[in-house]
Structure 1
Amino acid sequence: MSAARLSGRDLAAALVVVLVWGVNFVAMKFALRDFTPFQLGAARFTFAFLPLALFIRPPQVPWKWVVLYGLFQGVGQFGILFIALKIGMTAALASVLLQTQVFFTALFGFVLLQERASRPLQAGMVLAALGLGCFGYNYASPGAASSTTVAGFALTLCAAAMWAASNIVARQLRKVSSHYSTIAFVVWSGGVAILPFLALSWAFDNPAIRWQWLEAGWTSWLSIGYLGWVATVVGYSLWTGLLKRHPANRVSPFGLGVPVVGLAAGMGVLGETVTPWQWAGIALLVAALACVMLGGRIGQR
């Protein structure tokens, strides 16, 4: 792992990941016009699994970790997020709220693994709590207009918690087997999510619209291809490569750009609006993330 500054090529890779993952939420909104949340989950992970699974061998790890990660990160995180985006969450705000996974991961790490939170993380969690309070007050204040719903807000936080649970699985897996292909793990754990999504679609989707996806427009299929191949395969491949070549504290600050791009894309492409209280919550959450990602480096200096 290199301690040097990011080269021009690595800097370009980091910026590509930020752009790809930020636009990711707009693609979800487009696809949900023709697909139900469960159908979108099945399609997304089918695209991510095939045809790569024909060329990439399964990761050399116990299968229970592959299944757990696929259920938490695949069915849990994205299944709940797709429902939230469908019933009352904008792409712009989802890109911000999903980053609370950093703080859910710290909470789960403390409860399950007895990991102590650093000073910057503690400060960040306080700022994040204040930010979520601003979002909550937006719904409680009389006469406040919002393009999101309480249910959509709550489900997005649940999706962030599922992402955090998958982080705990990945952290435990490193203790068991540190030498495995990350791309193989992402591809095959994604394959785990396909059948549960199909089962959920068959059980809960309205039979009258169960086959509606066959008439989906080209924008929806293009969005699914983007979600499965670009956001998942390309995004995770570039990000993993950066983490292998550089320390995490040098790479992770680029994650702050994802909600910025997500906000710009949601407002610019979809015409989404943000209320003043939501802007206050966004500012506090971004400050909380900056505190966690940059606080340690500033303290060392």
Structure 2
Amino acid sequence: MKKKDIILALLVVIIWGANFTVIKLGLGGVPSMLLVVLRYIITAFPAVFFIKKPNTEWKYIILYGLFVGVLQFSCLFYAMEIGMPAGIASIVLQLQAFISPILALLFLKEKLKAKQIVGSLIAASGLIIIGMAAVSDGISAIPLEAIVLTAAAPVFWAASNIISRVASEKAAAKGEKLDMFSLVVWSGIIPPIPLLIFALMLDTPQTLWNAVINLNGISIFAVLYLAFGATLFGYGVWSKLIAKYPMGKVAPISLLVPITGLLTARIVLSEQLSAMQWLGASVILTGLIITNVNFDIFKNFINKQSSNNVTK
């Protein structure tokens, strides 16, 4: 990956890591489904009146909006509302890093390199270590429904990665370039209505209305952060990287999210970070390095030095 893209990816990681703590703060004053509705209303409006519709078929816009906004976030936000800790949620969601390359292999015929497999397995073991620490710290107290919903969220995220890649390739086949930021904005008009229906299934209209008219400063901050930071910037940059590089190269970078997620949850929410979780974070970093470092550079350097020595 280019240096500029690596920096952008790291910014996304930081913003997405803190995102889980922000969600938890937002849920303190707003019901889960309503919080996602507000997130996407701010994301899409008034931006759709100023940003041109992406040059792709409506089916891709609708599918992307459904998988990211409706399915992924309805699962994640409700799971966190009923008891999933922010730090653990940031870990579980990163299963997409392994699901995405597998789906790319199945649907896009992308090949997995040996270093990607090895690096992903090492990083996966890091997630397991952090998960084991969570078990020893009382994950059994988390409702089973919350665990299942959180585990479902990365599946939908991975599917949205495939959708954005297919839409991008379709545009490229016509000699056009898909504007990923535009895709994020326009797909934002899809989630509010389905999510509002979900909200009315979980809470009364009066409860939802009271939450809207009594928004406090923290809730407003949470909505703005989720809309502008996590969605417009985060998914805008992420979709560009997914379209630009192989899935197996980009998806594992999100494994850094649990590190910033755990740190933020520890600082803001006082969620404990154990020595075992730190070990897991270090293992994840090792896996990411193996997956993303271009070892050909080192091979070429060594070969060049060997050639110079022979010449001498």
TM-score interval, normalised by the smaller of the two chains? 0.7 to 0.9
Q: Structure 1 residues 95, 35: closer, same or farther in 2, change over 3 A?
A: same
2:71 to 73, 76, 84: 76
Alpha-carbon RMSD: 3.4
* Residues 188-226 of structure 1 deviation map (CA, whole Å, 9 limit, x = unaligned): 111111111111111233566333412231210111011
The one-letter amino acid of 2:138's match is A
Q: CA deviation at 1:185?
A: 0.6
Corresponding position: 1:158 with 2:172: no
Any unmatched runs of 5+ in structure 1?
none
Structure 2: gaps (5+ residues): 299-312
Change in 2 beyond 3 A, CA 1:44/1:145: same
Deviations 1:38-75 (A, max 9, x none): 11111111110011111112112110000111111111
2:185 matches 1:187: yes
Q: Residues 176-215 of structure 1: matches in 2 within 5 Å?
A: 176-178=170-172, 179-206=177-204, 209-214=207-212, 215=214
Q: Structure 1 runs of 4+ off > 6 angstroms? A: 240-254
DSSP 3-state at the match of 1:191: coil
1:145 aligns with 2:138: yes
| Residue-pair matches, total | 292
Q: Counterpart of 1:117 in 2: which secondary structure?
A: coil
**Quick check: 1:90–1:147 contact (8 Å CA) kept in 2?**
no
Cα drift, residue 135 of structure 1: 5.3
Structure 1 residue 283 displacement after superposition: 4.1
| Residue identity opposite 2:292 in structure 1 | M
Is 2:90 the counterpart of 1:91? Answer: no
Shift of 1:16: 4.3
8 Å Cα contact 1:72-1:162 kept in structure 2 = yes
Residue 21 of structure 1, aligned match among 16, 19, 27: 16
- CA distance in 2: counterparts of 1:245 and 1:131, whole angstroms: 27
Match of 2:259 in 1: 260
Q: Quick one: which amino acid aligns to residue 105 of structure 2? A: F
Q: Distance in 2 between matches of 1:162 and 1:96?
A: 16
Report the identity percentage.
33
Q: State how far apart, in whole Å, the 2-side matches of 1:300 and 1:150 are.
A: 48
Amino acid at match of 2:287: A
Q: TM-score, normalised by structure 1?
A: 0.81
Once the two structures are TM-superposed, the CA of residue 89 in structure 1 deviates from its matched residue by 2.4
Q: Higher mean Cα deviation, 230-239 or 56-65?
A: 230-239
Asked whether the 8 Å contact 1:89–1:148 carries over to 2, the reply is no
Q: Give how far 1:116 is off.
A: 3.1
- Which shows bigger deviation, 227-236 or 176-185? 227-236
TM-superposed CA distance for 1:162, in Å, is: 1.0
> Structure 1 CA distance, aligned partners of 2:78 and 2:48?
27
1:236-247 equivalences under 5 Å are 236-237=235-236
Aligned partners of 2:105 and 2:112 also within 8 Å: yes
1:105–1:165: 8 Å Cα contact kept in structure 2?
yes
Match of 1:232 in 2: 231
TM-score (norm. length: structure 2): 0.78
**In structure 2, do the counterparts of structure 1 residues 249 and 140 end up closer, same or farther at CA, with 3 Å as the change threshold?**
closer
| Aligned equivalents of 1:137, 1:11: Cα separation in 2 | 30
CA distance in 2, matches of 1:198, 1:54: 22
